[in-house]
Structure 1
Amino acid sequence: MANRRCMTWMLFLFACICTASFASNAKINFREKEKKVLDQILGAGKYDARIRPSGINGTDGPAVVSVNIFVRSISKIDDVTMEYSVQLTFREQWIDERLKFDDIQGRLKYLTLTEANRVWMPDLFFSNEKEGHFHNIIMPNVYIRIFPNGSVLYSIRISLTLACPMNLKLYPLDRQVCSLRMASYGWTTDDLVFLWKEGDPVQVVKNLHLPRFTLEKFLTDYCNSKTNTGEYSCLKVDLLFKREFSYYLIQIYIPCCMLVIVSWVSFWLDQGAVPARVSLGVTTLLTMATQTSGINASLPPVSYTKAIDVWTGVCLTFVFGALLEFALVNYASRSGWKSL
């Protein structure tokens, strides 16, 4: 009886060991299966990254690439150079039927690559870009996911400095529209078409904060361009910024009002206090001129008149008028006009 029990326990332990070994081997084989799938679809002589994918449903039409972006931050909007800096996560997705593979009954959801040159990539570029760079800390912030149906998802984090032509006629009560334009560089619309992803093509981080602007809204649109070499697919998103007025109220408008009021103090001084009146008038005039030059130093030298120019010009006129009024009255009193 004891021998039977011992034999039973030994068989039970042996079964447990075999089961654990089988599970371990299955896991190892599963990872090996991923390697075999990658070698099968991207092996030498099996996939050519230079050839673009077929069109929808394997037709000879253009490859369709859906695009969506996530705006992580907007760090600077520069009025002088008329540019803005943005950091975003950029994503593209398309179908490449050459990359289809067996998902092992749903266990293999997707394959991940970190080398973009292993598969065909759309030749998208940012047409209004001035500067840009990738993020490589700690590792390059980029990945490619290949799904069993041949769908390819490309995601990368980038920082860009983009041109933003501005109209400053209403400055500082203005609104500015800054665009982000993306287009194909070499493939025409006969070979490659960019489309905004359906649903929510542009997302913006919730706690986006700008020191002097507020992002009111954004609009997505298409901007296909035609040249003598063909028509190229293009996407754009327009960001509408509203300038915050409180900063200019505290730094410009209130100080200008105070200078005008101070210049009027000379009207209540004794008519014989000529040095005091002259000093007060000249000081306020020079301060107002310095304030005006400081405002213009933070703006580009545009050829049209801005709203802030009208305001500072009126304030300067009032200050100069107060000084001129005293000079005329003093001259009249000394030339005998008072007796008349």
Structure 2
Amino acid sequence: MDIRRPSCALIILLVLYFTHPTECIQNNGKINFREKEKQILDQILGPGRYDARIRPSGINGTDGPAVVSVNIFVRSISKIDDVTMEYSVQLTFREQWLDERLKFNNLGGRLKYLTLTEANRVWMPDLFFSNEKEGHFHNIIMPNVYIRIFPNGNVLYSIRISLTLSCPMNLKLYPLDKQTCSLRMASYGWTTDDLVFLWKEGDPVQVVKNLHLPRFTLEKFLTDYCNSKTNTGEYSCLKVDLLFKREFSYYLIQIYIPCCMLVIVSWVSFWLDQGAVPARVSLGVTTLLTMATQSSGINASLPPVSYTKAIDVWTGVCLTFVFGALLEFALVNYASRSDMHRENMKKNKKDMVIDPQANIDAASDMMDTDSNTTFAMLARCEVHITRQKNCCRLWMSKFPTRSKRIDVISRITFPLVFALFNLIYWSTYLFRDEDEEK
């Protein structure tokens, strides 16, 4: 090796020695780059050198608007509240822009960036979350915020925040619905002539792996722009739409299956004896009250909206079936008393003494009736004979009383109608297009 050729490090050391001789002899001849960071910060942010009140120049140093690239990292989503129509999210929020006033010498690549913890020392975009209800920074153990200044003047601002954001929901398909919750970010005071927000190219929104939500699943997210025009000008705005799908298994176990069981239990009344009045009444009233309590409990966990929800249709129809079973017993009880009255009338007719002369007089009267009346009676007899030949009529003739026939018809009709309702209900709400949901 040629000892006459000095190394690059030696040349840098000699240059620094002649410019700053006291710094080169620190730490056994090694350069103290932390001290150099302090000097550079004092140089670019010193009094009279940098004014944080003035925004940076536009692209290529022009007088155009300053361009700020934004990206976020969703750390967690703690809750999605249907009653207050809001959701809570914790995220790392990042902004990046170019401020040529902050350029500095990187000392041959030794200084990759400068780090600040005080945001008020440099110019900051006036971004705010337009649909925010509550929010706070994280200060444990130290404030979770930093600012990096790169040699070319790029500034990276990163902060961890927790937000509670409004999320207007359409609950017409609840609990078979999908909800879209937005996160909107806009400039508060700078118009698009001075400041423009853009999504960072390549994964502007990142979501933590294995994101767990108790009652929802995050299906996808979409980024978009939402510039707004007011009387004071047009303001740049960014938004990300989070599409949540409600987990149906919870509602299937807690609502739908119990309601089906209550409706089926109410049908037990059709198989009880007509004379078991206390049993049938207590069964009908108990199932009706239980169904009403279930319905009120469901509505208590939802906001009072003006439209009908899918769960309202289900609980309303189930309540109607239970109430119909109770009314069926009232009809059976009335028919049973009518049957008893009819039987008493038959017994009284059998006990009556038949007068032969009265029969002769009746026969003579029949002979004198008009022929039209005779033809009408014959027509009625033919209709009666035709009806008796009907299979359904023959099957119903096995049950002599009307009350028993009502019970038998109810045993078949109620399950068939309820099955038909289930077919229509699930085919309507499960296979509805996404456009119709909106």
Both structures adopt the same fold (TM-score exceeding 0.5)? yes
Identify, as 1 or 2, the structure richer in helix. Answer: 2
CA contact (8 A) 1:77 1:84 kept: yes
C-alpha deviation, 1:191, in angstroms? 0.2
Residues 1:272 and 1:20: Cα distance change in structure 2 (over 3 Å): same
* More displaced 10-residue stretch of structure 1: 205-214 or 15-24: 15-24
CA distance in 2, matches of 1:53, 1:13: 32
Q: Write the deviation string for residues 158-201 of structure 1: whole angstroms up to 9, x where unpaired.
A: 00000000000000000000000000000000000000000110
CA contact (8 A) 2:24 2:31 kept: no
Q: Write the deviation string for residues 249-286 of structure 1: whole angstroms up to 9, x where unpaired.
A: 00000000000011011111121110000000000000
CA distance in 2, matches of 1:287, 1:141: 52
C-alpha deviation, 1:62, in angstroms? 0.2
Task: Work out which of the residue numbers 245, 259, 264 in structure 1 matches 2:262.
Answer: 259
SS in 1 for 2:24: helix
Residues 1:268 and 1:167: Cα distance change in structure 2 (over 3 Å): same
CA contact (8 A) 2:23 2:32 kept: no
Q: Which has the larger radius of gyration?
A: 2
Residues 1:13 and 1:186: Cα distance change in structure 2 (over 3 Å): closer
Q: Write the deviation string for residues 92-122 of structure 1: whole angstroms up to 9, x where unpaired.
A: 0000000000000000000000000000000
C-alpha deviation, 1:14, in angstroms? 20
CA distance in 2, matches of 1:7, 1:37: 22
- In the alignment, structure 1 segments of 5+ residues that lack a partner are 1-5
Residues 1:26 and 1:258: Cα distance change in structure 2 (over 3 Å): farther
Identify, as 1 or 2, the structure richer in strand. Answer: 1
* More displaced 10-residue stretch of structure 1: 79-88 or 262-271: 262-271
Residues 1:143 and 1:273: Cα distance change in structure 2 (over 3 Å): same
Higher relative CO (CA 8 A, sep ≥ 6), structure 1 or 2?
Answer: 1
CA contact (8 A) 1:332 1:338 kept: no
SS in 2 for 1:218: strand
Aligned length: 332
SS in 2 for 1:256: helix
SS in 2 for 1:195: strand
Give the TM-score of the pair, scaled to structure 2.
0.71
Residues 1:294 and 1:124: Cα distance change in structure 2 (over 3 Å): same
C-alpha deviation, 1:24, in angstroms? 2.1
CA contact (8 A) 2:76 2:208 kept: yes
Residues 1:178 and 1:8: Cα distance change in structure 2 (over 3 Å): closer
C-alpha deviation, 1:45, in angstroms? 1.1
CA distance in 2, matches of 1:39, 1:237: 39
* More displaced 10-residue stretch of structure 1: 9-18 or 276-285: 9-18
CA contact (8 A) 2:93 2:160 kept: yes
CA distance in 1, matches of 2:146, 2:15: 46
Which residue of the partner structure matches residue 338 of structure 1? 427
Residues 1:111 and 1:26: Cα distance change in structure 2 (over 3 Å): farther
CA distance in 1, matches of 2:42, 2:329: 92
Structure 1 runs (4+) greater than 4 angstroms displaced: 6-23, 25-28
Two-structure CA RMSD over aligned residues (Å): 6.2
CA distance in 2, matches of 1:318, 1:65: 61
Give the TM-score of the pair, scaled to structure 1.
0.91
Task: Work out which of the residue numbers 183, 197, 215 in structure 2 matches 1:212.
Answer: 215
CA contact (8 A) 1:172 1:248 kept: yes
Q: Percent of aligned positions with the same letter in both sequences?
A: 90
2:332 is equivalent to residue 329 of structure 1: yes
Residues 1:16 and 1:287: Cα distance change in structure 2 (over 3 Å): same
Residues 1:251 and 1:97: Cα distance change in structure 2 (over 3 Å): same
- In the alignment, structure 2 segments of 5+ residues that lack a partner are 1-8, 338-425, 429-438
CA distance in 1, matches of 2:258, 2:11: 96
C-alpha deviation, 1:130, in angstroms? 0.4
Residues 1:265 and 1:137: Cα distance change in structure 2 (over 3 Å): same
Q: Write the deviation string for residues 193-220 of structure 1: whole angstroms up to 9, x where unpaired.
A: 0000001100000110001000000000
